[in-house]
Structure 1
């Protein structure tokens, strides 16, 4: 069960917790999914850097567009107070092993939709972490009456494309020769969207 909303305080400012911790058990492995908090910032900076070096499914090479602890604290603070943003982390044994973000738009004509992104440390692939981050994001979007979730995925990431289709996402377009990977070849980016009725 997803428990949406709670509250916590930072100084004198009170923030809503958009997703309270939810525990998952998969093949003798347990992890939680919860809203990101400012004290996650250092760990998130390290995890993002590691993930960028583990797979070419991300937009960045390792070290590119680096976000340090201060940058993540600011991002978490902004996402916590924004009704159209959601920052979730997956935690196992006190360590962040993956995270996802939804970012909305303040422009009225695009305020009905958010863009979703997710990443999980390679050693924790296969435990449904990405799928559960996606499920909780969809639940949050439906609760907040967000009508559309969009995402981009590399054409070679067939497992992710299949997962997204299983959760109601449709292919809306293809950006041809969008990314140049380490093998020297160009690859397409698949644009997908899910509309909440």
Structure 2
């Protein structure tokens, strides 16, 4: 299925979280929901993304949002992952990938020349009325939480300027030592 379009009603769901408790979209009526889909617990990119959501969790809550992570892992796997990294939000077990499919986050992937079906790292922002406010169809982990925060606080889906400039400064810093080596010595 394609990703839901902005303004459309978000597909409802009921899934178990890492504690075994059933979580549904309907229970968050009146709140923004950041529904992020990730491939697998405790893998490098997924861990960075989860920890970024953890580190900005209070800012996301202050902006009126609830964060829900979704992957095809089991509740037991989610429990270990959440405990290991002190994740303060529910991780939902979408073992049969029905919710991921309904949100367009289940699809064909290619890795090292191998084609397979899996979770497409993506995020859907759902408003308090249960409508899709924004979709990030192919998430790049670095800077993504800043994009979500910016959208929640009335900005755009783009990362704030400070977040965009950070990589450029890093690149410039890496070039500086090379420039020093190339400079001739004076006597």
Q: TM above 0.5, one fold? A: no
Give TM-score scaled by structure 1 length.
0.25
Between structure 1 and structure 2, the one with the greater Rg is 2
Give TM-score scaled by structure 2 length.
0.25
Give the helix-richer structure, 1 or 2: 2
Give the strand-richer structure, 1 or 2: 1
